Protein backbone atom coordinates (compact mmCIF):
# COMPACT_ATOMS: atom_id res chain seq x y z
CA UNK A 1 0.00 0.00 0.00
CA UNK A 2 1.36 3.42 -0.96
CA UNK A 3 1.27 6.10 1.74
CA UNK A 4 2.83 8.96 -0.20
CA UNK A 5 3.20 10.02 -3.81
CA UNK A 6 5.73 12.62 -4.98
CA UNK A 7 6.42 14.28 -8.32
CA UNK A 8 9.13 16.78 -9.22
CA UNK A 9 8.63 19.52 -11.78
CA UNK A 10 11.91 21.03 -12.97
CA UNK A 11 13.14 21.43 -16.57
CA UNK A 12 9.60 21.20 -17.92
CA UNK A 13 8.77 24.48 -16.11
CA UNK A 14 11.02 26.49 -18.44
CA UNK A 15 8.91 29.10 -20.18
CA UNK A 16 6.01 28.51 -17.78
CA UNK A 17 7.48 30.04 -14.61
CA UNK A 18 5.22 32.77 -13.23
CA UNK A 19 5.13 34.55 -9.90
CA UNK A 20 2.80 37.15 -8.45
CA UNK A 21 5.43 39.73 -9.41
CA UNK A 22 5.87 38.41 -12.95
CA UNK A 23 2.50 37.70 -14.50
CA UNK A 24 1.72 37.95 -18.22
CA UNK A 25 0.08 41.19 -19.30
CA UNK A 26 -2.15 39.29 -21.70
CA UNK A 27 -5.01 37.33 -20.09
CA UNK A 28 -5.05 34.72 -22.88
CA UNK A 29 -1.33 34.10 -22.36
CA UNK A 30 -1.96 33.37 -18.67
CA UNK A 31 -4.88 31.06 -19.51
CA UNK A 32 -2.60 29.18 -21.90
CA UNK A 33 0.12 28.89 -19.24
CA UNK A 34 -2.39 27.66 -16.62
CA UNK A 35 -3.70 25.02 -19.04
CA UNK A 36 -0.16 23.82 -19.81
CA UNK A 37 0.63 23.54 -16.08
CA UNK A 38 -2.61 21.61 -15.44
CA UNK A 39 -1.86 19.25 -18.33
CA UNK A 40 1.75 18.79 -17.18
CA UNK A 41 0.62 17.82 -13.66
CA UNK A 42 -2.11 15.53 -15.03
CA UNK A 43 0.45 13.52 -17.00
CA UNK A 44 2.96 13.48 -14.11
CA UNK A 45 0.30 12.15 -11.72
CA UNK A 46 -1.48 9.88 -14.25
CA UNK A 47 -1.69 6.35 -12.81
CA UNK A 48 -1.08 7.58 -9.26
CA UNK A 49 -2.66 5.89 -6.25
CA UNK A 50 -5.94 7.36 -5.03
CA UNK A 51 -6.14 8.74 -1.51
CA UNK A 52 -9.39 9.68 0.16
CA UNK A 53 -7.66 12.29 2.35
CA UNK A 54 -4.12 13.63 2.23
CA UNK A 55 -1.68 16.31 3.29
CA UNK A 56 0.27 18.17 0.61
CA UNK A 57 3.90 19.20 0.98
CA UNK A 58 5.15 21.63 -1.66
CA UNK A 59 8.83 22.39 -2.23
CA UNK A 60 9.76 25.50 -4.21
CA UNK A 61 13.17 26.56 -5.45
CA UNK A 62 14.85 28.61 -8.09
CA UNK A 63 18.53 29.20 -8.63
CA UNK A 64 18.67 32.97 -9.10
CA UNK A 65 17.14 33.88 -5.79
CA UNK A 66 19.16 34.04 -2.62
CA UNK A 67 16.01 35.06 -0.76
CA UNK A 68 12.54 34.65 -2.17
CA UNK A 69 8.97 34.92 -1.06
CA UNK A 70 7.45 31.44 -1.18
CA UNK A 71 3.91 32.72 -1.64
CA UNK A 72 4.81 34.62 -4.83
CA UNK A 73 4.75 31.26 -6.58
CA UNK A 74 1.06 30.71 -5.73
CA UNK A 75 -0.22 31.43 -9.28
CA UNK A 76 1.62 28.30 -10.47
CA UNK A 77 0.56 26.04 -7.62
CA UNK A 78 -3.20 25.96 -8.19
CA UNK A 79 -3.01 24.61 -11.78
CA UNK A 80 -0.44 21.98 -10.71
CA UNK A 81 -2.63 20.87 -7.81
CA UNK A 82 -5.71 20.84 -10.07
CA UNK A 83 -3.85 18.63 -12.56
CA UNK A 84 -2.97 16.15 -9.81
CA UNK A 85 -6.60 16.11 -8.64
CA UNK A 86 -7.80 15.62 -12.21
CA UNK A 87 -5.39 12.66 -12.51
CA UNK A 88 -7.16 11.12 -9.51
CA UNK A 89 -4.89 11.41 -6.48
CA UNK A 90 -7.77 12.90 -4.43
CA UNK A 91 -11.51 13.20 -5.07
CA UNK A 92 -11.28 16.99 -4.72
CA UNK A 93 -8.95 19.69 -3.37
CA UNK A 94 -11.49 20.90 -0.82
CA UNK A 95 -10.86 20.93 2.95
CA UNK A 96 -12.57 17.55 3.37
CA UNK A 97 -9.93 15.80 1.21
CA UNK A 98 -6.86 18.06 1.19
CA UNK A 99 -6.31 18.50 4.91
CA UNK A 100 -3.14 20.63 5.09
CA UNK A 101 -0.72 22.32 2.73
CA UNK A 102 2.87 22.97 3.75
CA UNK A 103 5.25 24.99 1.55
CA UNK A 104 9.01 24.95 2.08
CA UNK A 105 12.03 26.37 0.20
CA UNK A 106 14.28 23.95 -1.68
CA UNK A 107 17.87 24.87 -0.81
CA UNK A 108 19.49 23.37 -3.93
CA UNK A 109 17.04 22.99 -6.83
CA UNK A 110 17.99 20.50 -9.55
CA UNK A 111 17.35 23.02 -12.32
CA UNK A 112 16.67 26.72 -12.76
CA UNK A 113 13.16 26.24 -11.36
CA UNK A 114 11.77 23.41 -9.29
CA UNK A 115 8.45 22.60 -7.67
CA UNK A 116 7.89 19.36 -5.79
CA UNK A 117 4.40 18.13 -4.90
CA UNK A 118 4.10 15.32 -2.38
CA UNK A 119 0.74 13.99 -1.25
CA UNK A 120 0.86 12.05 2.03
CA UNK A 121 -2.09 9.80 2.81
CA UNK A 122 -4.08 10.54 5.97
CA UNK A 123 -4.55 7.33 7.92
CA UNK A 124 -8.01 6.87 9.37
CA UNK A 125 -8.11 5.63 12.96
CB distance 118 to 51 below 8 Å = no
Nearest CA among 16, 67, 64 for reference residue 39: 16
Q: Reduce the DSSP state of residue 43 to 3 states and report it.
A: helix
Give the global pTM: 0.91
What are the structural domain ranges in the chain?
Answer: 4-121
Architecture of the domain defined by 4-121: 2-Layer Sandwich (3.30)
Q: How far, in Å, CA of 42 to CA of 35, rounded?
A: 10
> Which tens digits make up the pLDDT trace of 26-74?
788 888 999 999 999 999 999 999 999 999 999 998 877 666 778 888 8
Q: How far, in Å, CA of 24 to CA of 76, rounded?
A: 12
Amino acid sequence: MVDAYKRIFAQELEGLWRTSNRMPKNTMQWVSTKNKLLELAFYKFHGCPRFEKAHLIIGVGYLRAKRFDLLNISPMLKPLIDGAIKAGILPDDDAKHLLTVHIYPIAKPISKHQITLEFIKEHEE
